[in-house]
Amino acid sequence: MAYRTLRWSVRDGVATVTLHRPEQRNAFIREMGNELSQVYRRCDADDDIRAVVLTGTPPAFCAGADLGAGAGTFDAPGAGFSAAGIKLPAWRVRKPVIAAVNGHALGIGLTLALQCDLRIMAADAKYGVLQVRRGMVGDAYSHWTLPRLIGMSRAAYLLLTGATVDGHRAHDLGLCLEVLPADQVLDAALALAHDIADNTAPVSVAASKRMLWSSFEHDAARIGELETEAHLLLMGEPDAREGVRAYLQRRTPEWTGRASELPDLDQPRCEPTNDAAPQPDR
């Protein structure tokens, strides 16, 4: 069995997931959402994977929904339709997910990238949540992610106008960590992912990520309680000793903790899956 809409591989602890419908500029279809969910589940469960990079086959990241049906594109959603587009969003993967947005990301192409923890974007590409200009509304949890990422006013600008911006404007709005020429985006994202894979403790990162994504649902007191729970979980563990030892010895840490063993810290774990799917190239 092979994926039809994406490619993925793993190297030195980093999974690279590539949206792959190049003739359609990686336009999104339901099958792509299902396959991306499967890969995210595997990245979440595999403790040898320490970070994930999501990108697209050039020249686009994802041109948005496939409009091949023309005016009837949004007529019949079919059984089981969900505007989420994907069953397992990137923020529920227990490893950092970095979007290497190496070309145009429009509509759901952008809203999928917004689910990632970090984004690096191409300078000359176009970005926008265009759905209100197509008689629809933003999808893939964009009304939840955007206010958290850039604030209510800037989120309203993007969601209510359907405006498109280039990479520099996207950076000014707070949509991305860095903006680069398109041919440098993936390399920069991979460098960041490998830095995480080599130098950060997997359970620590998983715990911190969970608290970050749930922080808007809690007051300061509750976040303080969750941080205390995380500290009590990590204190005295081998990785806490190894992190200090490696720092003092000026070497790369050798982590033994497993993110998959992180107990619930206020958010549900990713669901187990029995999906049959190919293993990545390693």
pLDDT for 264 = 66
How far apart, in whole angstroms, are the C-alpha atoms of residue 90 and residue 95?
9
- Domain range summary for the chain, segments of one domain joined by +: 6-197, 200-261
Indicate the CATH number for domain 6-197.
3.90.226.10
Bridge pairing between strands 118-122 and 97-101: parallel
pLDDT for 234 = 92
- Would you state the torsion angle of the CA atoms of residues 41, 44, 47, 51, taken in this order, to the nearest 10 degrees? 120
- Closest C-alpha among 217, 177, 215, 220 to residue 196: 177
Task: Specify whether the backbone of 70 is left (phi greater than 0), alpha (psi in -120 to 50) or beta.
Answer: left
C-alpha dihedral sign at 51, 54, 57, 61:
negative
Which residue stretches of the chain have pLDDT < 50?
71-72, 268-277
CATH architecture of 200-261: Orthogonal Bundle (1.10)
Q: Mind spelling out the 3-state secondary structure of the chain?
A: CCCCCEEEEEECCEEEEEECCHHHCCCECHHHHHHHHHHHHHHHHCCCCCEEEEEECCCCCECCECCCCHHHCCCCCCCCCCCCCCCCCHHHCCCCEEEEECCCEECHHHHHHHCCCEEEEECCCCEECCHHHHCCCCCCCHHHHHHHHHCHHHHHHHHHHCCCECHHHHHHHCCCCEEECHHHHHHHHHHHHHHHHHHCCHHHHHHHHHHHHHHHHCCHHHHHHHHHHHHHHHCCCHHHHHHHHHHHCCCCCCCCCCHHHCCCCCCCCCCCCCCCCCCCEC
pLDDT for 281 = 52
Quick one: tokens of 178?
A: 């860095």
Domains 6-197 and 200-261 share a fold: no
pLDDT for 131 = 92
Q: What are phi and psi of 15, to 5 degrees?
A: -90, 130
pLDDT for 275 = 46
The predicted-structure confidence for 193-245, as pLDDT tens digits, reads as follows 999 999 999 999 999 999 999 998 899 999 999 999 999 999 989 999 999 99
- Closest C-alpha among 75, 7, 63, 10 to residue 36: 7
